[in-house]
Structure 1
Amino acid sequence: MAIFSAKSVYAADIDGDGDMDVLSASSGDNVIAWYENDGTGNFGALQTISTTANSPRSIYAADIYGDGDIDVLSASLYDDRIAWYENASNTLSVDANELNNELLVYPNPATNQITITNLALQKIEIYDLTGRLVKSVSTINNEETIRIDISSLHAASYLIKVITDKAVVTKKLIKT
């Protein structure tokens, strides 16, 4: 499978074998993918991570979940979405698409407080764009709605990682 209209590439050790693999985001076919480096500088076939991003424009990799595996982030133009794809045991998977539509984060942009609504919220983490955890809130009894004070955060863009009993979803938050 070939990609169409590549917009971004990024090198990272996705499979944890010590050599740099390649990630790509292509807007023509809405594919986020990676290519495994075989250790000799040759790359394997495209391995699809997602085909649901609407015109992905940017791709990045970091250990977002803090589990030692390199995860993938993408930003898409037409759905105004920043997505996080968890690398579970060096196999990238997408658990978040269904949950993403059920999750509400408001107001956004926000000044002092945000409200997050979804069935069975377990934990909320807010990261700055360098990947640094700036706030973490654990819920009790899988609450459906939680209000979080963000007044101490600087005016900037953040990523909110919402962990529920179903999956993990990442949303963009703008703090004004």
Structure 2
Amino acid sequence: MSRRSVRAWISIAATVLAPLSMLVVAQPAQAAPPSSYCTQYAFNGEFRARGYPSGPIDWEVTFSSTGQFPSGPARVRFSDGGFVDGTVSGGAISGRQIEFTIKWKDKPNNYWRFLGFVGDDGLVTRGDQRRQAEGGYEALWYSERPLQCTASTAPELGSKRVDPNAPIGPGDVPR
């Protein structure tokens, strides 16, 4: 075999094997993203909600919680640099509906009630927030990190067993 023939075979082998080498590399396993199949969401660590800009001062609420029932310390930070600490005093995620209340420490009757609906992406995009201090008013908010999907109606991968000896019909061939 001449050098020219060897080079030709190497070139052909590289052309054939290069695309196949991509198939061999395994991708790391990742958690399934939220989807339209999700029937129950839960808090999964740090939760951040930001108020839609409606004036000169913007705000962001943060707290850390896991599971369906939030609790623990919370903080609101304002775009002017101010902040107020408080406590999540109740609420739950029921399916795709989210509700929680935060009692702020700066005034005796200062609490905010957050209501919303979780979208297919795990985010609340147009939540409704009602402030119950000084006459109260409403504001819209959105979450900045997706919530965790804990229950789904999606079929599990690999749940259908395939008989390798079963005959193949016209309906089995993708079009």
Q: Tell which structure's C-alpha radius of gyration is larger.
A: 2
Q: Which has the higher contact order (CA 8 A, sep 6+)?
A: 2
User: TM-score by structure 1 length?
Assistant: 0.27
**Structure with higher helix content:** 2
Larger % of strand: which?
A: 1
